[in-house]
Structure 1
């Protein structure tokens, strides 16, 4: 396996463990790093929401974001939201 992967990939696979390495390969470097830093659940949420909604949810907080989604953008603004 070491020969077929190449030295660096093999070392990475050893240090990460099988499952993380496979995930890193399938996700790509940047997504994998993001998944590591944000945690599993945040990353999954970011994938399903899309980048911009996720960022907004982070900055607004969970409850405000949910309210903004249910009210719609314009009504939420009328209520004095950001």
Structure 2
């Protein structure tokens, strides 16, 4: 399946194993439906799934002044981030 075609329903998604499963499927770009007995924790779980599904920022430095390449930090690149190349 292509990313975004898989639909997953996760019960107990507000914490524990259910939350971890939801995040794992989010990282695989699946469409995830979160279910739980109560609403407590579902908002945070939804945020974690969204962050896991966000595209990762991967590139090499193009600064000529850079002597050694270092990988960018893990996770999505903040929209406010600017290049340090001058």
TM-score by length of 1: 0.22
Name whichever structure is richer in helix by fraction. Answer: 1
For CA contacts below 8 A with separation 6 or more, give which structure has more relative contact order.
2
Higher strand share: 2
Q: Scaled by the length of structure 2, what TM-score is found?
A: 0.22
Question: Which protein is bigger by CA-based radius of gyration?
Answer: 1
